Structure 1
């Protein structure tokens, strides 16, 4: 079974998350996509939004797209690290994981906890984001993984971000 993981603080969830989920499903024939919500992205400031509100807002954005599941794993795996989530999900030997991210995340991916292990255990799908393509294609991770376990996807982008929405 091919599953996609879109991790993040989803503060707030928006149509950009939905767009890359739909594109990932279509292009990579993913059966299911999990929006793995975190309380705190280790590289960002702490979110003041409660997990319960994030889950509710994600489900509202997802609407009738039943292939997307919203999950909060931190209480189960006792971690907010991507590698710990992947290791937990990989206990099911019948799944192939595709980790979905925006191009902005690729720029600092080498700073993620055990980033090299993440790239060994799953396929990384990077979706172009307005204003980030140049720097993401110059990133350490792109240079190291290009065409191995990393795929850069250009598509009709949704020019929106959670950071922009929080400022409104």
Structure 2
């Protein structure tokens, strides 16, 4: 049997992209032996206000940040899959039987993960890698999702955190 290609997906509005996104991408590649990581950029995060920065500028900024890391690709799938839902992206990517998907997220996202569209299906269809974020560990480990899931499908990664967030950067 042919070994599956491991790919990481980091989804978000990347408003703006920053060195924290890059740090978790590099860490995920190293720790989980991922062949490539896709930054799946969304026009609008369903849990956030409309982005102030237009999509093409955010894509350009992402490409600038990743330029020295050819294993990271920036992709916009919403026009292809006609959705901004994570499960629809995973189902689209899983059509390629030769890949194994690792979905990367910050600990802050795990807290409300149970509110995501078809969150249980996301957990069943890929590996979830949660990266600790400053000030979120305790609440994410107490979250409804973390308590209810099969720990085989989720890995909580503690690493030298980059204390930065897109929302902090937007305030500057």
Question: Could you tell me the TM-score, scaled by structure 1's length?
Answer: 0.99
Unaligned runs of 5+ in 1: none
5 Å-filtered alignment, 1:140-151, equals: 140-145=144-149, 147-151=151-155
Partner of 1:165: 169
Task: Provide, for residues 71-104 of structure 1, a one-character-per-residue CA deviation record: whole Å limited to 9, x for no partner.
Answer: 0000000000000000000000000000000000
The residue matched to 2:155 in structure 1 has which SS? strand
- How many angstroms does 1:144 deviate by? 1.5
Q: 2:28 aligns with which of 5, 17, 24?
A: 24
Task: Provide, for residues 7-54 of structure 1, a one-character-per-residue CA deviation record: whole Å limited to 9, x for no partner.
Answer: 000000000000000000000000000000001110111112111101
The residue matched to 1:58 in structure 2 has which SS? helix
Q: 2:57 aligns with which of 30, 48, 53?
A: 53
Unaligned runs of 5+ in 2: none
After TM superposition, which residue ranges in structure 1, 4 or more long, deviate above 6 angstroms? none
The residue matched to 1:97 in structure 2 has which SS? strand
Task: Provide, for residues 99-140 of structure 1, a one-character-per-residue CA deviation record: whole Å limited to 9, x for no partner.
Answer: 000000000000000000000000000000000000000001
Q: For 1:46 and 1:74, how far apart are their aligned partners in 2? A: 16
Q: Does 1:35 align with 2:39?
A: yes
- How many angstroms does 1:63 deviate by? 2.1
The residue matched to 2:89 in structure 1 has which SS? helix
Q: For 1:167 and 1:94, how far apart are their aligned partners in 2? A: 42
Question: Could you tell me the TM-score, scaled by structure 2's length?
Answer: 0.96
5 Å-filtered alignment, 1:33-112, equals: 33-112=37-116
Q: For 2:150 and 2:122, how far apart are their aligned partners in 1? A: 15
